[in-house]
Amino acid sequence: MQAIVNHLIQLQELLMIKDEQKVLGGTEHLQRMDASILTMKNELRGDVRLTFDRLQKKDFLVIVPVSDGICAACGLRLPISLVQQVRMCKEIQACPSCARMLFAPEVRPKRIPGRVRRTDPPKVGISRFTSHSLMIPKLEAVDKEGAIKELAFKMETEGFVDKAGKLVEEALRREAIISTAVSHGVAFPHVRGIEGGGLTLALGMSQKGIQFDGDNNLSKLIFFMVIPIAASAFYLKLLSGLTEALMKPEARKALLAEKDDPEKLWKALVKVTRSTIK
CATH number at residue 134: 3.40.930.10
Please report the pLDDT score of residue 193 as a whole number. Answer: 77
Number of structural domains the chain divides into: 2
Residue 63 lies in a domain: yes
In the chain, beta strands by DSSP E: 63-67, 70-71, 93-94, 101-103, 135-136, 181-182, 186-187, 190-192, 200-211, 218-227
Please report the pLDDT score of residue 72 as a whole number. Answer: 85
Give the structural domain span for 138.
125-272
* Alpha-carbon gap, residue 142 to 263, rounded angstroms: 23
Residue 114 lies in a domain: no
* Alpha-carbon gap, residue 98 to 101, rounded angstroms: 9
Q: Is the dihedral angle over the CA atoms 78, 76, 122, 240 positive or is it negative?
A: positive
Specify whether 98 is located in the same domain as 138.
Answer: no
Residue 119 lies in a domain: no
Cβ 45 vs Cβ 4: under 8 Å: yes
Residue 277 lies in a domain: no
- Rounded average pLDDT over 18-33: 77
Specify whether 96 is located in the same domain as 134.
Answer: no
Give pTM, 2 decimals: 0.84
CATH of the domain at 41: 1.10.287.1490
* Alpha-carbon gap, residue 88 to 112, rounded angstroms: 28
Please report the pLDDT score of residue 122 as a whole number. Answer: 55
pLDDT at 115 over 50: no
pLDDT at 139 over 80: yes
Please report the pLDDT score of residue 124 as a whole number. Answer: 75
The residue type of 163 is: K
pLDDT at 142 over 60: yes
* Alpha-carbon gap, residue 214 to 111, rounded angstroms: 31
- Phi and psi at residue 223, in whole multiples of 5°? -100, 115
Specify whether 144 is located in the same domain as 260.
Answer: yes
Specify whether 81 is located in the same domain as 156.
Answer: no
- Rounded average pLDDT over 182-204: 87
Specify whether 97 is located in the same domain as 27.
Answer: yes
Among residues 18, 31, 43, the alpha carbon closest in space to that of 178 is found at: 18
- The confidence band for 68, taking pLDDT boundaries of 50, 70 and 90, is confident
Please report the pLDDT score of residue 120 as a whole number. Answer: 47
Bridge partners, residue 218, by sequence:
211
Residue 171 lies in a domain: yes
- Give the distance, in angstroms, between the CA of residue 238 and the centroid of all CA atoms in the same chain: 10
- Rounded average pLDDT over 128-146: 94
Specify whether 181 is located in the same domain as 213.
Answer: yes
In 100-155, beta strands by DSSP E: 101-103, 135-136
